[in-house]
Amino acid sequence: MISLPAHHSPMRVALVYNQKKEEAVQQSMTDNDSEPPSSRGSFSPNQSLSQISNPNSHSSQVSDLYAEWDTFETIDAVRAALAEHHSVTMIEADEDAFSKLQTERPQIVFNIAEGLHGVSREAQIPAMLEMLGIPYSGSDPLTLAVCLDKSRAKEILSYYNIPTAKFGVIHSKEEIKNLNISFPNIVKPLHEGSSKGIYNSSIVHSKEELVIEVGKTLDKYNQPVLVEEFLPGREFTVAMLGNGKELHVLPIVEIIFDTLPKGVNPIYSFEAKWIWDQSDSPLDIFSCPAKIPDKLKLEIEETCRKAYTVLRCRDWCRIDVRLDSAGIPNIIELNPLPGILPKPEDNSCFPKAARAGGLSYNQLIQTVLILAAQRNGLIEHTSLHSN
């Protein structure tokens, strides 16, 4: 169990966030002409919700434009957790964010902003904060940008001999012939999260299927495509808290694919995350703590510690892991701005792992703030006790 470090005096905290524009998502499902606020994706959604819910339909036309951003409910839950001990100002990470931060000058920022535009969007708020000399929670601009480009992150992991699936980056269909990896493959947009662009159809077993899927992904996401060898084993996600030698691995979550609709591919796809799993009828897709032998648990923990360290993550990160055909844990990707939906029935992995490790949602948020404040010398360093 992890316990929160000792109490300390209140701080002036700013919570910096991007709020999901739910109305706009509704709108974009019916309006082919709706313009996205960024150049990230250009969907022309034309599918009804009943088609979306059908696991056999191709659901890649559902708008996932705002999938990364947080809902009011999540943002307000983080605010409430921070407000238990601190004064909290809310700052939306929009084009006025820099001047708002400059005027407000909080002692510390709790950063959950996914950013507005571009392939390094998660780095934008941390870069502004560094320029202003304001301490903030979580990883720095470099780590955030590298982890948002899954190929760059995988190159670093490979350099340190940390297992990760073989891959290639494709900029145009003509480059497919240069790929030197074995089928089956998984096809994903290079710079996305929240399973954007990862659908049941993203698994391909032949050159013909690969060409079609790469073409669709290139067209829809207007960015390079990552093609990886498919890791066929069990999948886990690992929530980590801490810095330096004091790095805590929370109880491991396993993704149980048996709970997905019959006949679909065993991946945690956009459909699985956002369509088949609803608060009013949650998919029983997670097992935490994962039921695994101690040896495998230690192996997963060790691989995740190495990945966290070589990518220079700070305070917290959720790392996705899958076993290869030899049973070896491979890193799929790192999420240094992890999803943190507050309600247990929302099936959000970091809060779930925290609860299993003895931290309530509010304690998790407060712990991340304390880790950041300690790292910046704002409060005295005390350990997170763990036994």
Ligand X SMILES: Nc1ncnc2c1ncn2[C@@H]1O[C@H](COP(=O)(O)OP(=O)(O)OP(=O)(O)O)[C@@H](O)[C@H]1O
**Binding residues for ligand X, per CB under 6 A?**
165, 186, 188, 192-196, 198, 228, 230-231, 235, 267-268, 320, 322, 332-333, 335
Report how far residue 191's alpha carbon sits from residue 30's, in angstroms, rounded to the nearest whole number: 26
Tell me the closest approach of the beta carbon of residue 16 to ligand X, in angstroms: 20
| Residue 319 Cβ vs ligand X, minimum distance, rounded to whole Å | 9
Nearer to ligand X, 213 or 320 (CB): 320
Residues in the chain, total: 387
Q: Do 67 and 49 meet the contact criterion of CB atoms below 8 Å apart? A: no
Distances (CA, A) of 238 to 153, 275, 363: 17, 23, 18
Nearer residue to ligand X within complex by CB, 195 or 367: 195
When the beta carbons of 158 and 194 are compared against ligand X, the nearer one is 194
Q: Out of 68, 70, 320, 346, which residue is the one contacting Mg ion (CB under 5 A)?
A: 320
C-beta of 86 vs 150, nearer to Mg ion? 150
Range in contact with Mg ion (rule: CB under 5 A) among 28-36, 181-189, 313-321, 336-344: 313-321
Between the alpha carbon of residue 209 and those of residues 52, 216, 218, 231, 233, the distances in Å are: 21, 11, 14, 18, 22
Q: How far apart are CA 199 and CA 203, in angstroms?
A: 8
In whole angstroms, give the CA distance from residue 56 to residue 261.
9
19 residue type, one letter: Q
228 binds Mg ion per the rule CB under 5 A: no
Token reading at 226: 């990552």
Q: Is 235 in the site for Mg ion (CB under 5 A)?
A: no
Alpha carbon distance 283, 104 (integer Å): 42
Minimum CB–partner distance for residue 89 and Mg ion (Å): 31
User: Among ligand X, Mg ion, none, what does residue 267 contact (CB within 5–8 Å per kind)?
Assistant: ligand X
Task: Compare residues 122 and 320 and give the one whose CB is closer to Mg ion.
Answer: 320
List strand residue ranges (DSSP E) for 181-224, in order: 185-189, 203-204
Q: Which is nearer to Mg ion, 54 or 287 (CB)?
A: 287
Residue 347 near which of ligand X, Mg ion, none (CB within 5-8 Å, type-dependent):
none
Binding site for Mg ion (CB under 5 A): 320
